[in-house]
Structure 1
């Protein structure tokens, strides 16, 4: 799947996926295949959950984790969607063989 990559220099983080775009802070990230693959995994997750449900579950899981860990980084890294994306970002063929809603396996 191809998604437009848009550079936004004032983005407060390195990158993020908001369907159908991959937003990046620095132009050099466009060449980082692992970084882009991570964001593409999020875009597929968003499609599977019809966008609004993805964002709702993402935020709910983040706040649950924040109460659980009392630490932003641990809360973020343990969001089920992030767990899938981080664990599979280096596998550049992952999205071609990924089953529907694989993120569920990361609970």
Structure 2
């Protein structure tokens, strides 16, 4: 399923991570990269949880982190999070469209 995101220009890797931290699917990631990305997913869950509590909201659309290694988009999919790492923020529109189409929300 998520392998299709690798065809989108600029996407470096992607992973679908369950709420318990288990990797459901991945594409373009080595084991070494995967461990770093799982740390990012855990941190993003904490940030999202904190924002939801402080803003008194239960739903979130996506979270974008612009890191030294390039931007990473976190998108909810049920109780899972789809992580999509890509080359530059200028590619965000293309990546968002592809993610939404993949998840059936476009």
Query: What's the TM-score once normalised by structure 1's chain length?
Result: 0.33
Larger Rg: 1
More helix by share: 1
More strand by share: 2
